[in-house]
């Protein structure tokens, strides 16, 4: 029930903030922020109360929706869902805060879309019915399309269309695969159901499993994104408003990774093992290729966008390593990447508000004027290159340690990714904050609101770096497929 409440709070707040905005923008912002904070508190309370729960599933809520077709409103939460949902509300709340000044047009509709996309993401992380999953999966898409297309930068329409087409194409394949699985299960067991738990261990031919698995996998690979399906990402991330970029990088990409962990591996274990070397190879290609593209960029946000391609490669590498260490690393990577990349996008946005450019060639020497902002970027850049002490290191180390047991050569190349990550990460610092400053800016450093956002992110990334055990304990309870 509490899971339904989480969704309802967001849904109601979405509608409410839209309505209220006609009267007061400020109230609309507070409603959005309040709803997300309430949800965050609820989730944290759940977490604290379940640190010692031995059961894998903490909550399980199921009511029939369309019983005739075996469709139900089935929500459940285990450690993985909890972590993802907590991340959603945390980054969601920050997204409202960063839009406080940046968004001044159609404020109500913006917050409606923002809360709606967060509601869709939350649904994706909580639902255990494949029909409902597809419903939420599509539900994320439309408001995100608006978030990019209405409040974005210069080429926002192109980016929004591209984003929509890519994810929609992937989603279609997934729909086919879901239906295929539904009918295969029905034919073999005479029970027609979309329920996740019933569909686990569906008996099927290896050939069938392979095709169905591919349908799911491609949809998720587009979202993750894996090379060669990644090209929607740089455009979408670059053109979206700051909040849009944060939600995209921090949360939407994670739904792809989550889908692989939750559906691809448990539903089709044998077929997943078969394709593992290829998937891991795609991961490594993503790590190196994304890093190389990032190195060449001159647009600050585009650079950060490509680092996402690189970092999410680790997720793919670890997810198909089939051992617990790598899985734990993957979950960690999903969280830390959300935090650190989100932070970088936030700062890029804050910088854009001040100097009205994203072009790295027009920046330089800003440390003198913006030492606080520079320090913050330094921290998250160090996270992105995998410095121990920050959460990203824990994630990448565990992924590599785990994937080493599965495939050594690919791990060697993935480890080389740490060197190229150093190259592009340090390039950010050099281009933006170091070097001579040839312009006379009068720039205000981070203000109070921005400080609150950044400090929250900094605390989390250090906490995950020095004491990741609560997260690791929560994610270890998940009964992954282990070869």
Partner 1 sequence: MLPALIPVIPFLSAFILMLGWKQLSRAAVAVIGCGSIALSAAVAIGIAAQFAANGEQAIQQHVWTWLQAGGFRAGVDFRMDALSVVFVLVITIVGFLIHVYAAGYMHDEPDYSRFFACMNLFVGAMLVLVMADNLLLLYFGWEGVGLCSYLLIGFWYKDPANGYAARKAFIVTRVGDTAMGIALFMLFQYTGTLHIQNILESATQLWSKGDPTITLIALLLLGGAVGKSAQLPLQTWLPDAMAGPTPVSALIHAATMVTAGVYLIARTHTLFELAPAAQTTTAVIGAITLVLAGFSALVQTDIKRVLAYSTVSQIGYMFLALGCGAWSAAVFHFVTHAFFKALLFMGAGAIIVALHHEQDMFKMGGLKKQLRAVYWVFLIGSASLAAIPFVTAGFYSKDQIIWLSWSAAGGHVGFWLAALLGALLTGMYTFRMFFLVFYGDIKTKVHHRPGNSMMIPLYILAVLSTVAGFIELPHTLGHVTLFSNWLLPVLPAVTVLQESAILEWTSQGLSALLALSGIGLAYAWVVIHPKGMVDFLEMPAILWFRGFWARGWDFDKLYDVLLVRPYVYLSRINKRDLVDKLYTGLAQLMQWCHHMLARTQSGLLRWYILGVVLGAVAILSVLIWRIYI
Q: Is the dihedral of CA 130, 265, 40, 243 positive or negative?
A: negative
Pick from 419, 443, 452, 455: which binds partner 1 (CB under 8 A)? 419
Stretch that binds partner 1, among 45-53, 145-153, 339-347, 429-437 (CB under 8 A): 429-437
Q: How far apart are CA 138 and CA 174, in angstroms?
A: 11
Q: Residue 276 CB: number of other CB atoms within 10 A?
A: 18
Residues 6+ apart with CB under 8 A from 186: 192, 193
Quote the tokens at residue 366: 């800003």
> How far is CA 441 from each of CA 346, 356, 367, rounded to the nearest angstrom?
21, 12, 12
Least distance between partner 1 and beta carbon 28 (Å): 36
**477: contact with partner 1 by CB under 8 A:** no
Judged by CB under 8 A, the residue of 67, 206, 388, 444 near partner 1 is: 388
Choice between 141 and 416, CB closer to partner 1:
416
Is 476 a residue that touches partner 1 (CB under 8 A)?
Answer: yes
Site string for partner 1, 160-189 (x = CB under 8 A): --x---------------------------
The least distance separating partner 1 from the CB of residue 381, rounded to whole angstroms, comes to 11
**469 interacts with partner 1 by CB under 8 A:** yes
Cα separation, 409 vs 411, whole angstroms: 5
Residue 250 main-chain phi, psi, to 5 deg? -80, -35
66 SS3 class: strand
398 is a contact residue toward partner 1 (CB under 8 A) = yes
Residues with Cβ within 8 Å of 354's Cβ and at least 6 positions away in sequence, in order, are: 441, 443, 444
Closest CB to partner 1 among 148 and 325? 325
Q: Rule CB under 8 A: choose which of 29, 230, 358, 369 binds partner 1.
A: 230
Q: Does residue 322 contact residue 473 with C-beta atoms inside 8 Å? A: no
414 Cβ contact list (under 8 Å, min separation 6): 283, 284, 287, 313, 314, 317, 399, 400, 403
Of 53, 168, 208, 422, the one binding partner 1 (CB under 8 A) is: 422
Nearer to partner 1, 1 or 448 (CB): 448
Which range in 137-145, 200-208, 353-361, 387-395 contacts partner 1 by CB under 8 A?
387-395
What the block records as the tokens of 395 is 């994630």
C-alpha span between 238 and 235 (Å, rounded): 5
- Binding of partner 1 by 359 (CB under 8 A): no
Which residue, 409 or 442, has its beta carbon nearer to partner 1? 409
Query: Which chain residues interact with partner 1 by CB under 8 A?
Result: 162, 227-228, 230-231, 234, 292-293, 295-298, 323-325, 327-329, 365, 367-368, 371, 375, 382, 387-389, 393-394, 397-398, 400-402, 404-405, 411-412, 415-416, 418-420, 422-423, 426-427, 430, 433-437, 466-469, 472, 476
């Amino acid at each position: 029930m509490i899971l339904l409440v989480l969704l309802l709070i967001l849904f109601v707040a979405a509608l409410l903030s839209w309505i209220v905005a006609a009267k007061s923008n400020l109230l609309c912002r507070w409603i959005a922020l309040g709803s997300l904070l309430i949800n965050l508190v609820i989730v944290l309370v759940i977490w604290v109360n379940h640190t010692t729960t031995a059961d894998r599933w903490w909550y399980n809520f199921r009511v029939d929706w369309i019983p005739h077709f075996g469709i139900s409103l089935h929500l459940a939460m285990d450690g993985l869902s909890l972590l993802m949902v907590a991340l959603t509300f945390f980054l969601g709340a920050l997204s409202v805060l960063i839009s406080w000044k940046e968004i001044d047009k159609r404020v109500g509709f913006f917050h409606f879309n923002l809360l709606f996309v967060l509601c869709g993401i939350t649904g994706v992380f909580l639902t255990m019915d494949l029909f409902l999953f597809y419903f939420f999966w599509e539900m994320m898409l439309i408001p995100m399309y608006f978030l990019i297309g209405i409040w974005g930068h210069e080429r926002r329409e192109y980016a929004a269309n591209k984003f929509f087409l890519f994810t929609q194409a992937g989603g279609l394949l997934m729909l086919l695969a879901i239906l295929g699985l539904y009918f295969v299960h029905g034919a073999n067991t005479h029970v027609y159901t979309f329920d996740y738990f019933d569909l686990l261990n569906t008996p099927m031919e290896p050939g069938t499993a392979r095709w169905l698995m591919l349908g799911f996998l491609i949809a998720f690979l587009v979202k993750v994104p894996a090379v060669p399906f990644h090209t929607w990402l740089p455009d979408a991330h670059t053109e979206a408003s700051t909040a849009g970029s944060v939600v995209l990088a921090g949360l939407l990409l994670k739904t792809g990774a989550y889908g692989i962990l939750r559906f691809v591996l448990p539903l089709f274990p044998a077929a997943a093992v078969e394709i593992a070397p290829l998937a891991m190879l795609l991961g490594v290609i993503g790590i190196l290729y994304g890093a190389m593209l990032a190195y060449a960029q001159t647009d600050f946000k585009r650079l950060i966008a490509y680092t996402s391609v690189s970092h999410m490669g680790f997720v793919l590498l670890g997810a198909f390593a089939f051992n617990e260490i790598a899985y734990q690393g993957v979950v960690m990577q999903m969280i830390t990447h959300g935090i650190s990349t989100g932070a970088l996008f936030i700062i890029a946005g804050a910088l854009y508000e001040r100097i009205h450019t994203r072009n790295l060639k027009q920046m330089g020497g800003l440390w003198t004027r913006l030492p606080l902002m520079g320090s913050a970027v330094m921290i998250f850049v160090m996270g992105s290159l995998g410095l121990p002490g920050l959460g990203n290191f824990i994630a990448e180390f565990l992924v590599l340690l785990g994937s080493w047991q599965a495939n050594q050569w690919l791990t060697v190349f993935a480890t080389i990714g740490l060197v190229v990550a150093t190259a592009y990460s340090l390039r950010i610092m050099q281009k933006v904050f170091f070097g001579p400053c040839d312009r006379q800016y009068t720039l205000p450093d981070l203000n109070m609101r921005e400080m609150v956002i950044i400090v929250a992110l900094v605390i989390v990334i250090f906490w995950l770096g020095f004491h990741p055990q609560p997260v690791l304990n929560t994610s270890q309870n998940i009964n992954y497929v282990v070869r």
